[in-house]
Amino acid sequence: MTRLHIVHTTSFIYDRPAAASYNEARMRPATLPGQMVLSSRLSASPSTWSTEYRDYWGTQVTAFEVLRTHSELVVTSESTVDLQPRPDPGATGVAERVEWSTLTEPSIADRLAEFLANTEATAPSDELAALALECGGGRSPVEAALAVCEAVRSAVEYVPGVTGVHTRAAEAWAQRSGVCQDIAHLVLGALRSLGIPARYVSGYLHPLGHEAVAGETFLGESHAWIEFWCGEWYPWDPTNRCAVSDHHVVVARGREYNDVTPLRGVFAGGGQSQQSVQVALTLEA
């Protein structure tokens, strides 16, 4: 068992005082099989009103507004999560028994339609779709999915800062570089082009894994990976070329980044704003 303490802080500083702002935060981990949230709270300063709900994708959302003049806004999510070792997704044998014809069964295609259709963010270029088709040749769906993950990662260099939150998969592919969000979008687009349902996962990862030292805080960022469906959801971290472990913390799932954006909102007045984000991860056990 792994216990992680996570503090995710996002700050905005405005050029001049803002009159009001309206926001939604998706920054609190979910309790799932293998992942138990022991404590979680989200605070915003300043804030004059807030409420919570679950969105269409099942993510816990904190909506809040600031109805007074303010020059900065600080949003902090602090959580402690217990994580059990994740079973080998291939160990059940379910995925191995799934054939291409299984994925086209009307009941499957209908139930997972939202994860079969590409969006503007995930739509693959013709070249990437061709690569996916090559990966699928002669392989079962699960073998093809893992081959796509590896092929995309081998073709794309991880370079922090070269893309933004609005970068599309086709743009990241053209420059052959990006971050975890781009690599997830690229893999999603490629898998869906083959007819394999796939979804975007946002959350956190302690990058040192079992090398992390208890009590020491690591300053990192949010993370993104994918899950593809082959009889059951098969989690995979294409950026790190690994299965999802007991150092990955799930916050939200959706079709793409825009479904799970950690913090989004609008503000009145204020001119331009400067944003800073920090994620502090501490292994507690």
Domain CATH number, residue 10? 2.60.40.2250
Q: For residues 60 and 26, is the Cβ–Cβ distance under 8 A?
A: yes
pTM for the model: 0.96
How far apart, in whole angstroms, are the C-alpha atoms of residue 264 and residue 261? Answer: 7
Structure confidence by residue, pLDDT tens digits, 170-202? 999 999 999 999 999 999 999 999 999 999 999
Q: Is the pLDDT of residue 90 over 90?
A: no
CA angle, 140 then 113 then 171, to 5°: 80
Tokens representing 56? 């269409």
**Parent domain of 139:** 100-207+217-259
User: Does residue 244 form part of some domain?
Assistant: yes
User: Does residue 120 form part of some domain?
Assistant: yes
* Residue keyed to tokens 């699960």: 142
When pLDDT is averaged across residues 99-120 and rounded to a whole number, the result is 97
What burial letters (b/e) apply to 102-141, b meaning 16+ CB within 10 Å? ebeeeebeeebeebbebbebbbbbeebbebbeebbeeebb
Question: What CATH number corresponds to the domain at position 247?
Answer: 3.10.620.30
Give the N- to C-terminal CA distance of the chain in Å, as an integer: 7
Counted domains in the chain? 2
β partners of residue 21:
66, 267
User: Does residue 91 form part of some domain?
Assistant: no
User: Does residue 161 form part of some domain?
Assistant: yes
**Backbone angles phi and psi of 185, in degrees to 5:** -60, -40
Neighbours of 47 (CB within 10 A): 20
On whether both 231 and 159 belong to a single domain, the answer is yes
C-alpha Rg value of the chain to the nearest Å: 20
On whether both 245 and 104 belong to a single domain, the answer is yes
On whether both 224 and 194 belong to a single domain, the answer is yes
On whether both 78 and 122 belong to a single domain, the answer is no
* Residue keyed to tokens 């994580």: 83
On whether both 229 and 274 belong to a single domain, the answer is no
User: Does residue 176 form part of some domain?
Assistant: yes
User: Does residue 58 form part of some domain?
Assistant: yes
How far apart, in whole angstroms, are the C-alpha atoms of residue 157 and residue 180? Answer: 10
CA dihedral 123, 125, 130, 136 (to 10 degrees): -30
Of the candidates 133, 122, 129, the one whose C-alpha atom is nearest the C-alpha of residue 100 is 133
Looking at every residue in the chain, the average pLDDT score rounds to: 96
Least confident of 39-53, 79-93, 251-265: 79-93
Tokens representing 28? 């609190």
On whether both 113 and 241 belong to a single domain, the answer is yes
On whether both 149 and 180 belong to a single domain, the answer is yes
Structure confidence by residue, pLDDT tens digits, 239-253? 999 999 999 999 999
On whether both 50 and 106 belong to a single domain, the answer is no
